[in-house]
Structure 1
Amino acid sequence: MTKWTVAALLATLAVTGTAHAQTKLQIGCTATTDCASAMVAVDEGIFKKHGLDAEMIPIGINSNIPAAILSGSIQIGGPTSTVFLQAADGGLDLVAVAGATVMSPTSNANITAFVRNGITIKEPKDFIGKKVGAPGLGAFLHVLFVKWLVDKGVDPRKVNFVEVTFPTMPDIIKSGGVDAVLTAEPTVSRMLATGSGSIGARYASELERTEPIIFYAASREWAEKNPDTVRKFRAAIAEGAAIVNSDKDKTSAAIAKFTKQTIELVKASPPNKSEPVLKPEQLAWWIDVMSSQKMLETRLDLNKLILK
């Protein structure tokens, strides 16, 4: 073998190695079904097919995701619409790169105000004076509930809101620590099974909204420096979303693996609808609602919130 043949072979190997190199990507999400499209894309090898060595990183509290993105511990995260908009309003230069989940009749029906035994809720005004636990003040479920109260003519300032995490809801409802909690499946079914209370309102169903619940975001600096990675991520998420919306078995397996829940529990509740395409107008309603609740101090530019 001549030196020219060896050189040519080495050059070919170098090009082949580069072509098959996988770009590392860390995606941070809470233990929720709303990042199912990314979970499926990891589990089914879709990210790898697109040249991405993607890893799902569990984040305990959704409001910690913007900080994790900016610190570089993750490149892409799945904040809720409210967390993302509050972060952007606070001056954090984040940008949405793809859609994750949107509200739908199915997901809205899973959201409830669950009331402990001994408390009677017949209409919205019955929540006045009650102690209501929310999984984060200003979080997705809390903002929706306040919107519902306002639409029903109830002053939300007359409701005593406190923070209660999802894992502690069954115990605090049973002990009478709060009168009601804003929650969703599978927590609702767990509490119904123990006979600790009843459903006081399916407020999300009454609102009938279809806006985003969670979407994938990154720092603007990272996204603009890595357009090829963003393109590959979007393509993989689109494939993952199609599976989430059509194949419950594959989706449940991926969710159970990431959230560390039993497959039986995951299958008991359908995943929220995945919608990989995110449009500026989909955030307009959230901005209006949050502004009316004095949660935003600046006028956010819709066209700058989503990476083109």
Structure 2
Amino acid sequence: MTKILTAASVAAVLAAGPLQAQNKIQIGCTATSDCASAMVAVDEGLFKKHGLDGEMVLIRINSNIPAAILSNSIQIGGPTSTVFLQAADGGLDLVAVAGASIMSPASNANITAFVRNGITINAPKDFVGKKVGAPGLGAFLHVLFVKWLVEKGVDPKAVNFVEVTFPTMSDIIKSGGVDAVLTAEPFVTRMTNAGLGSVGARYAVDLARSEPIIFYAAARDWAEKNPDTIRRFRAAIAEGAVIVNNDREKTSASISKFTKQPIELVKATPPNKSEPDLKSEQLGWWIEIMSTQKMLQTKLDLSRLILNHQK
């Protein structure tokens, strides 16, 4: 009887090895609060609860996330809506698997154009001729700012946009390398407290939208081959979203840990609202404004952008 139990135990261990390897996932995001549901899912053991070994990976620029997904450096990433749609437009076979963050009245004020000392911005037209740093050209903050300029009657081509990563914004503002940066909290408070400048515009407040900011995406081939992993991931993210939207202490701790931002700064600003459910029509507005900005060359099929037509 003992030999039978031992043999069964060995068989179970051997069987568990490949399963654990298959269920290990790396989730790549930039240093913002938008992937807070995944951060919390790691720290609060929600991935483990659902049989996954989840690990967060810091990606410096959001536009690098699609390439990281397709190279299998990460299995799931948090691209902004705009980066995802550009990648799909370019022929990269990515698919959204769950929602991460959305714009909302409570958090839109966190998004700003922060202006260095010595530069005066009294109206949208004052950005003409200025050098403005964006955390990825074609990324969420950049496209949203261009939309705002157009609505305010300003030609975006009259603004000089350059890429500046979130972690380097303080230094480049301080050195005068750019006149302004498109950023969000807690970076706004950090630069304000350091006396580097002031808020020039809260353009997301003016636009007053509620579409997705960031959602979780994967390579279509990988996602379709791992439906159980996707199911478990979605379940953990859904539980993580409840914590993000209701428990500032736990959420702030997770955001601070991943982004390396001081906990006091993270606590000072609520994270963007976490919304795990994602519907294809929510991407329609992004497709419309990106098409207007001539950022898309093809007609994207909304029915194929979200795995299993998630409701």
TM-score, reference length from structure 2 = 0.92
Letter matched to residue 186 of structure 1: P
Residue-pair matches, total: 305
Q: Indicate the residue corresponding to 1:216 in structure 2.
A: 216
One-letter amino acid of the structure 2 residue matched with residue 48 of structure 1: K
| Larger mean Cα displacement after TM superposition, 109-118 or 273-282 | 109-118
1:6 deviates by 4.2
Residue number in structure 2 paired with 1:204: 204
Residue 134 (structure 1) shift: 1.6
SS at match of 1:120: coil
Q: 2:240 aligns to what?
A: 240
How many Å separate the matches in 2 of 1:218 and 1:168?
Answer: 28
Equivalent residue letter for 1:171 = D
- Cα deviation code 1:115-162 (max 9, x no counterpart): 223322222122222222222221111110100011111111112222
Deviations 1:162-201 (A, max 9, x none): 2222233223333333222211112211222233322111
How far 1:289 sits from its partner (Å)? 0.8
Match of 2:40 in 1: 40
Residue 285 (structure 2) aligns with: 285
Give the match for residue 231 of structure 2. Answer: 231
Correspondences of 1:114-193 after superposition (within 5 Å): 114-193=114-193
2:4 to 1, 4, 7: 7
SS in structure 1 opposite 2:106? Answer: helix
Distance in 2 of aligned mates of 1:181 and 1:291: 24
- Alpha-carbon distance between aligned partners in 2 of 1:157 and 1:35, rounded to the nearest angstrom: 31
Shift of 1:307: 0.2
Alpha-carbon distance in structure 1 between the residues aligned to 2:190 and 2:258 = 20
Secondary structure (helix, strand or coil) at the match of 1:296 reads coil
CA-to-partner distance for each residue in 1:98-121, whole Å, 9 max, x for gaps?
000011123210111122233222
Between the aligned partners of 1:166 and 1:95, the Cα distance in structure 2 is 26
1:41-94 deviation line (CA, Å, top 9, x unaligned): 111111111111111122222111111111112111111111111111111100
SS across alignment from 1:105: coil
Distance (whole Å) between structure 1 residues aligned to residue 172 and residue 27 of structure 2: 32
| Structure 1 range deviating more: 132-141 or 91-100 | 132-141
SS at match of 2:307: coil
Q: Matched residue of 2:112: which SS?
A: strand
Quick one: which amino acid aligns to residue 307 of structure 1? Answer: L
Query: What is the DSSP-based 3-state SS (H/G/I as helix, E as strand, rest coil) of the residue aligned with 1:170?
Result: helix
1:226: Cα distance to partner? 0.7
2:61 matched residue in structure 1: 61
Q: Cα 1:178–1:15, aligned 2, differ >3 Å: closer, same or farther?
A: closer
Superposed displacement of residue 212, structure 1: 0.8
TM normalised by structure 1 equals: 0.93
Structure number with bigger Rg: 1
Q: Relative to 1, partners in 2 of residues 1:175 and 1:60: Cα closer, same or farther, differing over 3 Å?
A: closer
In the other structure, the counterpart of 1:97 is 97
Cα RMSD, aligned residues only: 2.0
Report the counterpart of residue 257 of structure 1 in structure 2. 257
